[in-house]
């Protein structure tokens, strides 16, 4: 009996230790931004979203990586657009650096939210507007997105396009951008392991007690 009790305590300690030391998953990022025109917006980015097999198409000779469904809770209120809690995609364009589009060098590469969903992948660019940011995560890790808020800390602007010609109609610069990591507990099987282990050892104790009574 003493040995079995010790086994229960040991198993419980190990399993509880596993539960306690499990890290949290910081894959979800919340964005809040405002622009020159007074537009405001928010969205949530799931950095664990797998990339599309089809490339993101910005121009015939400029492609990037699209992440379908990576953006949720996308809301924007502006003189030129009004959306509330929609889901769409995120994209990164490794070949378009900050200095290439007239910003200081080393800010990162072009990235952002594309709307409507699917507008930036094959057969071609059909987006109504993009919320553009600079992505400064480690490019050698792409298509895996960084989960560090600092990798998305510089806003560019909102580009609005003519739906018929895809020509740029409006460029509204982002003046304020805040990015925060949302701490989400990882799925954890340690608790179920603990319950199962304690249950098994408990049955052994019960069986052993019955054997001792029978022998008495």
Residues 136 and 193 in one domain: no
Residues 67 and 108 in one domain: yes
State which residues form the domain around 207.
Answer: 2-20+189-215
| pLDDT tens, residue by residue, 95-112 | 999 999 999 999 999 999
84 and 168 share one domain: yes
Same domain, 73 and 6: no
Give pLDDT, residue 94. Answer: 96
Claim to verify: residue 47 and residue 109 sit in the same structural domain: yes
Q: Over 50: is that where the pLDDT of 19 sits?
A: no
Residues 160, 80 share a domain: yes
pTM, two decimal places: 0.74
Same domain, 197 and 174: no
pLDDT one-digit tens code per residue, 109-132: 999 999 999 999 978 889 999 999
Query: 28 and 53 share a domain?
Result: yes
Structure tokens at 39: 């537009």
pLDDT category at 36 given cuts 50, 70, 90 is: very high
Neighbours of 135 (CB within 10 A): 25
Nearest to 113 by CA among 101, 102, 128, 99: 128
Local confidence band at 60 (pLDDT 50, 70, 90 cut-offs): confident
Q: For 172-205, how does the pLDDT look when each residue is reduced to its tens digit (9 = 90+)?
A: 999 999 999 987 655 554 444 444 544 544 544 4
- The arithmetic mean of pLDDT across residues 9-28, rounded, is 51
Percent of the chain with pLDDT over 70: 73
The overall average pLDDT reported for the chain is: 82
Residues 38, 16, single domain; the answer is: no
CA atoms within 13 A on the CB side of 97: 7
Asked if 44 and 141 sit in the same domain, the reply is yes
Q: How many domains does the chain have?
A: 2
Q: Do residue 60 and residue 113 come from a single domain?
A: yes
């Amino acid at each position: 009996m003493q040995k079995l009790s010790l086994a229960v305590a040991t198993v419980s300690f190990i399993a509880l230790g596993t539960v306690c030391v499990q890290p949290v998953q910081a894959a979800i990022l919340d964005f809040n931004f405002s622009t020159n025109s007074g537009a405001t917006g928010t969205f949530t980015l799931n950095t664990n979203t797998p990339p599309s097999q089809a490339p993101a198409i910005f121009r015939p000779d400029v492609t990037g990586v699209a992440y379908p469904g990576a953006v949720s809770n996308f809301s924007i209120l502006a003189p030129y657009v009004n959306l509330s809690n929609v889901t769409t995609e995120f994209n990164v364009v490794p070949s378009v650096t900050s200095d290439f589009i007239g910003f200081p060098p080393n800010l990162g590469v072009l990235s952002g939210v594309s709307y409507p969903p699917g507008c930036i992948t094959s057969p071609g660019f059909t987006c109504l507007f993009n919320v553009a940011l600079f992505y400064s995560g480690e490019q050698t890790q792409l298509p895996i997105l960084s989960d560090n808020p600092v990798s998305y800390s510089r806003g560019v602007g909102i580009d609005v396009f003519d739906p018929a010609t895809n020509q740029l109609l409006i460029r509204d610069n982002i003046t304020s951008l805040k990015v925060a990591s949302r701490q989400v507990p990882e799925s954890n099987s340690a608790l179920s392991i603990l319950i199962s282990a304690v249950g098994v050892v408990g049955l052994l104790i019960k069986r052993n007690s019955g054997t001792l009574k029978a022998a008495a």
